[in-house]
Amino acid sequence: MTDSNMADAEDNVSIPGFSNLLQMDPLLKPYEKDFLRRSKQLQKQLQLFEEAEGGFDQFTQGYSHFGIQRQPDNSLIFKEWAPAAEALFLTGDFNGWNNFSHPFTKRDFGKWQLHLPPQEDNSPAVAHGSKLKVVVHTKEGERLYRISPWAKYVTQHEKSVIYDWVHWDPPQPYKHKHPRPKKPRSLRIYESHVGIASPEGKIASYSNFTANVLPRIKDLGYNCIQLMAIMEHAYYACFGYQVTSFFAASSRYGTPEELKELIDVAHSLGIVVLLDVVHSHACKNSEDGLNLFDGSDSCYFHAGTRGVNKLWDSRLFNYSSWEVLRFLLSNLRWWMDEYRFDGFRFDGVTSMLYHHHGIGIGFSGDYSEYFGLHVDEDSVLYLMLANHMLHSLNEDCITIAEDVSGMPALCRPLSEGGCGFDYRLAMAIPDKWIQIIKEYKDEDWNMGNIVHTLTNRRYGEKCIAYAESHDQALVGDKTLAFWLMDKEMYTNMSAFIPMTPVIDRGIQLHKMIRLITHGLGGEGYLNFIGNEFGHPEWLDFPRQGNNESYHYARRQFNLVDTDHLRYSQLYAFDRDMNRTEDKYGWLAAPPAFVSARHERDKVIVFERATTIFIFNFHPTSSYQDYRIAVEVPGKYGIKLDSDEVQYGGHGRLDHNTEFFTEPVPHDGRPHSTRVYLPCRTAIVLGKVDID
């Protein structure tokens, strides 16, 4: 295609669904040219892939061409991209760590290749489990020892700081037995970290998670797992967000085959699995990371200050680079194809979207903040390409954006000019709950402010709501339960003794906060491992500052397994909350209609799906015959009650009570009914079929 033909093709690009986007948000009309430019860039890039690489499908399988590739005759081909290197050599166990005996041959566009024939017995020259290094000679005369960016497995010796590249090609690779589950209509996510998923003071394993945690997740009613800290990271305490080897599953938990089994068993339970993927930045490590791979400060990253995130002290990818696009898109496909992940939670999307990376910026919601020169259009294009690829390869793929800015159309289809994500995280919600608990007395809680925070999201763009995630539990902060009950959790959680006022308040509010977030806050719900049962304290990984202690880097499932402790009551409520949602499907329903946000009474009432949610946050006042609005007339019954004794409540509601609507208009609805509302209680009412 000539340049003039390319230009004509660009001019002919349109956004078929843009009118639909404008119908939902007419205020985007002044930015139509921005959306059109992005769509043009997407089509242009896809066309370039077609012309130069034989198509997008071929381009995004870089893992089949780079790194180590065993051929049918057991010869090995090694391929790397190191544009600034003067020479490349391969060294390792296979050649007695000779730095010069196996040189790569330079190819076009900064690529290097080496062919190793099989040994005399026809086995590969590099055996499974043996160690390797790429030796990079720079133009300045330096000799650097590097791990291949495409390494599939890296390990750390006990006494070593640096990771070793280990060739992973097992004679009997794991074979998946179970099909992927279909995308859930209501997404209930269990955010997990494999290493802390045990009460023991050590790094837990993939196998432990498979055997001991998956059954809990299934019982709790979660249909999706979001796995953190899987991509290899040299520093355990970084929570997986300083990635060093992008194609390697972390070896500190076990082998790649054991991770594949974990995902396969999850699939057998009907649970989809998402990877917390970090493509917003990379660790600065050079000996066992991507940084300075070919001796230059660019290669995979922007050169100079543009290539550094000052807040995270990490490197920033150059999304305009052809080979960086190959690397990152192939990385997503590797995790989806090889390990059978069902989707991705993209970390640090705000940092990607803007040249300022969100540092020191308070987003007001003014649309000028989302368009203009401060937007990194290369990054926006990458995210559009990623969503195009993932949803083309797997229509049930789920993508979630961690974006605090509120970028319009981030979660709208590419056909409308959007970025193509399925969900964004509702990040303001957990911050609001922590603020309320820390700064306000119970009688001063503002019902309108709570409702506003839970419902303040872009229409037509789905959100994942959560009361707390891993962020809220990190050292320097603490879990919601610990904010509510603090040190009394050490001594007063036994069901054999009466609840103290602190424990009573904490248990009731813990349930109510989670239920109102679940019901009102989004189109999906997320819980961080262990917080469903009110995990105490906080998260802190072993480091010098805590004498390398694992005490706070574990999940104390023993607490919930001890029947006489009240943790099991919180667990039971969380389980039944999810099961009730599974029956009525409020997360998949349109946004709720909020009929009451009564400040004096501290009452919130809303309808969603076919259910009515009623919350009385008042610390002391209960209400007899409290009138609530109802849209659909009929007979209603109690479907979930936070005050049940089995949930640590006081059992003040009679579950045999039937609530009949009256044709009495109330709070904007044509019908209403009367209910008893105990203090600090949440109730979900559902229709009772009339024979």
Which two structure tokens, joined as six digits, stand for 83? 């544009």
Cβ-count burial 195-221 (b if 16+ within 10 Å, e if not): bbbbeeeebbbbbbbbeebbebbbebb
SS3 content of the chain, % helix, strand, coil (to 5): 35, 25, 45
CA atoms within 13 A on the CB side of 501: 3
Count of beta carbons in the 10 Å neighbourhood of residue 147:
26
Q: How many CB atoms lie within 10 A of CB 550?
A: 19
Other Cβ atoms less than 10 A from the Cβ of 8: the count is 11
From 164, 232, 347, 461, active-site residue: 347
Nearest-CA neighbor of 245 among 204, 288, 189?
288
Question: β-pairing, 245-249 with 314-315?
Answer: unpaired
Question: Is 614 in contact with 685 (CB distance < 8 Å)?
Answer: yes
Question: CA-based angle 661:682:606, to the nearest 5?
Answer: 50
Cα Rg of the chain, angstroms: 27
Cα distance between residue 46 and residue 381, in whole Å: 11
The answer to whether the CB of 69 falls within 8 A of the CB of 76 is yes
CA distance 536 to 175: 39
CB count, 10 Å around CB of 631? Answer: 14
Q: Is 402 a catalytic residue?
A: yes
Question: What are the distances in angstroms from CA 229 to CA 1, 158, 240, 247?
Answer: 44, 20, 4, 13
**Cα 633 from chain centroid?**
40
Rounded CA separation 52/55 (Å): 8
Q: Which one of 80, 402, 532, 581 is the catalytic residue?
A: 402
Q: Is 589 left (phi over 0), alpha (psi -120 to 50) or beta?
A: beta
Tokens of 406: 């509120």
For residue 485, which of 440, 535, 435 has the smallest C-alpha distance? 535
- The 3 state secondary structure assigned to 21-70 is HHHHCHHHHHHHHHHHHHHHHHHHHHHHHHHHHCCHHHHCCHHHCCEEEE
Which amino acid would we find at residue 26?
A: P
Asked if 654 is an active-site residue, the reply is no
Amino acid letter at 112? W
Bridging pattern class, strands 593-598 and 603-608: antiparallel
* Amino acid at position 435, single letter: Q
Tokens of 92: 């390792």
- What are the strands, taking DSSP E only, across 600-669? 603-608, 611-616, 623-630, 635-641, 659-660
Those residues whose C-beta lies under 8 Å from the C-beta of residue 187, and which sit 6 or more positions away, are: 223, 224, 398, 423, 464, 523, 524, 525, 587
**What tokens were used for 505?**
């308040």
**Tally of CB atoms within 10 A around 112:** 23
Q: Tell me if 484 sits within 8 A of 509, measured CB to CB.
A: yes
Strands 603-608 and 611-616: antiparallel
Instruction: Give the catalytic positions in this structure.
Output: 347, 402
